[in-house]
Chain A
C-alpha cells in the first residue's frame, strides 16, 4: 500500500539522518530514485524549492513526494514518517535518559557516524556532478559533457568565492539560486 510505503520510507530517512539539512540528501536520493518517485532533475528542483521556502528540508521533501504519489493523505503520512523518529528520540532524551549522549558507547557510535555522513554528502555531490554535468552515470555511459552546465557551475563557484573574499561572509543560498536561475535562462534559453 502506497501510504504505508511512504510512511516507512520517510520514517527510515528520518531515523538515520544525522547532522540536519543535507545529512539526509544521500538517503533521500537513493530511495526516491529507486522507487521511481523522482528523477535526478526533479530531486534537484525539489532541493532548490526547499532552500527557497521556509522550514526543515526533510519536511519539505516528504510533503512534496507524498503529495505527488498519493495526494493530501500521502503528504501527511510521509511528513509524519520523517518527523516521528526525531520527535521520539528527543522525547526519550527529555523524559527518561537525560544522559544518553554522555554514554561512552553513544559517543563512540557518533564518532563513527559523523565522518560517514560527511563522506556521504561529498559522495552524493560527486555522483551528481558526474551524472548531471559530465553525463557519466556508470562506467559504461558515454562521456557527454553539458558545456553550459559546467559553465554555470564554474561561474557560481567563482562568484561565491569572490563574494566571500569581498564581504567576509558566505553568500546566501537564496541569492545564489536566483543568480543560477538567470544564468540558466540566458545560457539554455538563448541557445534553444
Chain B
C-alpha cells in the first residue's frame, strides 16, 4: 500500500513536469513522454509505449489525457490514472486560470490589441497548416477522398448560407458510413477493406 502511494506521488510529479513543459499540444508531448517514461525512468518498454500512442490517437480527447490515464492505470490502477491525469492537466489549468483574470485588461492596451490582430491571422495559418499536414498523412482511398471533399464542401456551403449543422453530426454520419462500407464489403465477401 505504501509502495503504491509512492508510485502515485512519483506519477503525479512526473506528469506535472510533462504538463508544464509541453508546448503546442499532443504530438510535442509524445517525444517528451518517451524520453521520460521509456528512457529515463524505464516505467514502460518501447512496445507498450507505441501501443499507448496508438490508443491515444484513436480515442477521443487530448493525447496528453489519454496517455496519462493509460500509463497511470498500468502503474498503479485507477488511483494512478487519476494522479497522472490531474498532474498533466494542473499546470495548464493554473496558468490559464491566472491569465484569464487579467487578459481583458491586457488586451485593452492598444499596442497589445494591434499585436493580437497579427497573431489572429497567424492562428488561422497554423490551423490551415495543421489541416494540410493531416491531409498529407491520411490514407487516400476512394472512400476517404469522397468523405474529405463532401464534408469540406458541405461545411463551407452551409456556413456561408448561415445554416447551422452540428459538427457532431458530421462525425457520427462519417463513422456510420465507415461501418456501412465495411458491412457492405463483408456481405459481398470481398475480404478487402476500403479503409
Complex contact A184–B116 (CB within 8 A): yes
Chain B residue with Cβ nearest A34? B164
Establish whether residues B64 and A55, one from each chain, have CB atoms under 8 Å apart when the complex forms: yes
Contact indicator A113/B175 (Cβ below 8 Å): yes
Q: B99 contacts A53, CB within 8 Å?
A: yes
Measured in the bound complex, the distance between the Cα atoms of B155 and A90 in whole Å is 30
Given contacts A111-B143, A114-B138, A184-B115, contact A119 B155 (CB under 8 A): yes
B15 to chain A, nearest CB (A): 11
The CA-CA distance from A138 to B161 in the complex, in Å, is 6
Pairwise interchain contact B131-A122, C-beta atoms closer than 8 A? yes
B189 CB within 8 Å of chain A: no
Do the beta carbons of A83 and B171 come within 8 Å of each other? no
Which of B5-13, B36-44, B177-185 binds A? B177-185
Q: Decide yes or no: A67 and B116 within 8 Å by CB, A21-B25, A111-B144, A115-B147 being known contacts.
A: no
**Contact A122 to B128, CB < 8 A, known contacts A18-B171, A83-B61, A112-B176:** yes
Chain A contacts of B97 at CB under 8 A? 63, 67, 72, 75
Number of A-B contacts (CB under 8 A): 384
Residue A2 is within 8 A (CB to CB) of chain B in the complex? no
State the majority secondary structure of interface residues on B: helix
| Given contact pairs A118-B134, A126-B156, A30 touches B166 in the complex (Cβ within 8 A) | yes
A153 touches B125 (CB 8 A): yes
Contact indicator B70/A59 (Cβ below 8 Å)? no
Given contacts A30-B166, A63-B93, contact A119 B147 (CB under 8 A): yes
Contact of B177 among A50, A112, A124 (CB under 8 A): A112
- A42 → chain B closest CB, angstroms: 9
Candidates B63, B129, B179, B195; contact of A56 at CB < 8 Å: B63
Say yes or no: is A4 at the interface (Cβ < 8 Å to chain B).
no
- B114 with A56: CB separation less than 8 A: no
A-facing residues in B104-140 (Cβ within 8 Å): 107, 110-111, 114-132, 134-135, 138
Query: Is residue A36 contacting chain B, with contact meaning CB distance below 8 A?
Result: no
Instruction: Assess A108 versus B25: contact at CB under 8 Å? Given A101-B54, A133-B121.
Output: no
Asked if B125 and A54 sit within 8 Å, CB to CB, the answer is no
Asked whether B124 lies within 8 Å of A129 as measured between CB atoms, the reply is: yes
**Chain A residue nearest to B121 in the complex (CB):** A152
User: Using an 8 Å CB-CB cutoff, how does the interface string of A93-127 with B read, 1 for contact, 0 for none?
Assistant: 11100000100110111111111111111111111
Using an 8 Å CB-CB cutoff, how does the interface string of A3-23 with B read, 1 for contact, 0 for none?
A: 000000000101111111110
Given known A118-B148, A139-B160, A185-B118, contact A86–B89 (CB-CB < 8 A) = no
Q: A191 to nearest B CB, angstroms?
A: 9
Contacts of A145 in B (CB 8 A): none
A15–B99 Cα gap in the complex (Å)? Answer: 26
On chain A, the residues within 8 Å of B159 by CB distance are: 123, 127, 138
| CB of A176 closer than 8 Å to a CB of B | yes
Residues of B contacting A110 in the complex (Cβ-Cβ under 8 angstroms): 58, 175, 178
Evaluate whether A67 and B101 lie within 8 angstroms (CB atoms) in the complex, with A109-B175, A132-B124, A138-B160 already known. Answer: yes
In the bound assembly, the distance between CA atoms of A187 and B19 in angstroms comes to: 35
Extra A-B contacts (13), CB below 8 Å, given A15-B60, A26-B167, A133-B124: A44-B124, A48-B116, A89-B60, A93-B55, A116-B170, A119-B152, A123-B156, A125-B131, A139-B161, A152-B122, A177-B119, A181-B122, A182-B115
Closest 10 CB pairs of A and B: A184-B118, A86-B61, A55-B92, A112-B178, A180-B122, A108-B182, A123-B155, A116-B174, A56-B62, A119-B151
Please, could you name 7 A-B residue pairs with CB atoms under 8 Å apart, sorted by A?
Answer: A51-B23, A90-B73, A91-B81, A119-B152, A122-B132, A138-B160, A176-B122
